[in-house]
Chain A
Amino acid sequence: MGNGLFRNGNIGVVLLVLVLIGMAHATSETAVDLSGVWRVETQYGAVLSDGVATFEPTGAGRYTGEVQDTIHMRTGPIARRFSTVAVVDGATVRIEWTRVGSKRSDGTKKTIQVKEVDGGEKLQGMGYDQYGTFYITYVREHKADAK
């Protein structure tokens, strides 16, 4: 039955190739490059924090980095530091912040997921920790042109 491309002997191979093309098409997202310096802001209800985040690639879409920020509590500002690990999966980035340099909170973690917006210049999403959920935004920091 059939001839040429659609002969019985070829049809299985053709189907397999087409399914593989379909799979490749569905997973082909451009990965975000996190390398560099970002401004980072979080919001827990009325409580805001802002600071600077850095990322360095460690290969295979993974990055390590650091966040130094200030959270503006009703009782006053508190400076914080976190070590971070990020994994990029297409346009989605999963990030974990681990608190360092605090007697009370050392080792506590924040689990974060963000998606790129504005062509990769901004990452926006949400996270949670032991206290609740929060919004988070990363904005890429542009260095002044060297002249």
Chain B
Amino acid sequence: MKFYIVRAALLVILLFAGGACAGENTHGSILGAWRVEVQGMENPGVTGVGRALFFEPLDAPVSDGKYTGALELRQTLLRGNEVYRSYRAVATVTGEAVEIIMTNIRNGFIWKMKGKFKDGQIRGNSRDQLYRHGWVTFTRIPLEEGGGNTSAVGGSTSPATTAVE
């Protein structure tokens, strides 16, 4: 009797395992929408909050671990003034490790982040081209969240109001 109970339990586990294998595997995948939080290491008062998007393009299947996307940040600088910045992003995913290179769309300024997938987040540190360091956290947000509301970047002022056309 005990033998059959063990077998039945095994069957149930395998059934769920089959479902899990077929479902969307988001662990270790950078595709989708993320809330982004940044804090300066040398200057913890310098912070940023925003969103990043990485979608697989239709005409260029991702095969080499590189993903293109975009990132926007509302940054609070040392004197408390805020700036909006938009970046092109290229992420390279190698197993659980992620490296993202972000290029400011207006002035070409580059910063890089190195991190790891952990607990549904990507956590790591960054360095910009002036060798300033920061902590960066990406947290998943649903794609359909906040439609019509720029809550992820904390305001209604576009960082690209003169260039979106």
A132 contacts B159, C-beta separation under 8 Å: yes
A43 contacts B22, C-beta separation under 8 Å: no
* Contact (A18, B164) CB under 8 Å given A94-B58, A114-B144, A132-B86: no
Give the tally of cross-chain contacts (CB within 8 A).
154
Once the chains are docked, how many angstroms separate the CA of A95 from the CA of B158? 23
Would you give the 0/1 interface string for A7-20, flagging 1 where the beta carbon is closer than 8 Å to chain B? 00001001100111
B86 contacts A113, C-beta separation under 8 Å: no
* Contact (A96, B143) CB under 8 Å given A23-B21, A44-B158, A132-B70: no
A19 contacts B86, C-beta separation under 8 Å: no
Interface residues on A, range: 35 or more
Name the A residues within 8 Å of B160 (CB-CB): 44-45, 47, 131-132
Instruction: Report the minimum CB–CB distance from B73 to chain A (whole Å).
Output: 10
Closest to B51 in A: A133
**Interface residues of A: mostly helix, strand, loop or mixed?**
strand
**23 A-B pairs (CB sep. < 8 Å):** A18-B18, A19-B18, A22-B18, A24-B22, A26-B21, A26-B22, A44-B161, A46-B157, A47-B161, A74-B161, A94-B58, A96-B57, A96-B59, A113-B53, A113-B143, A114-B144, A115-B144, A128-B53, A128-B70, A132-B70, A133-B51, A133-B70, A137-B148
- Chain A interface residues toward B at CB < 8 A: 1-2, 6, 11, 14-15, 18-27, 41, 43-47, 71, 73-75, 78, 80, 85, 87, 92, 94-96, 105, 109, 111-115, 117, 124-135, 137
- Chain B interface residues toward A at CB < 8 A: 3-4, 7, 11, 14-23, 32-33, 51-53, 55-59, 68-72, 84, 86, 88, 105, 143-144, 146-150, 153, 155-165
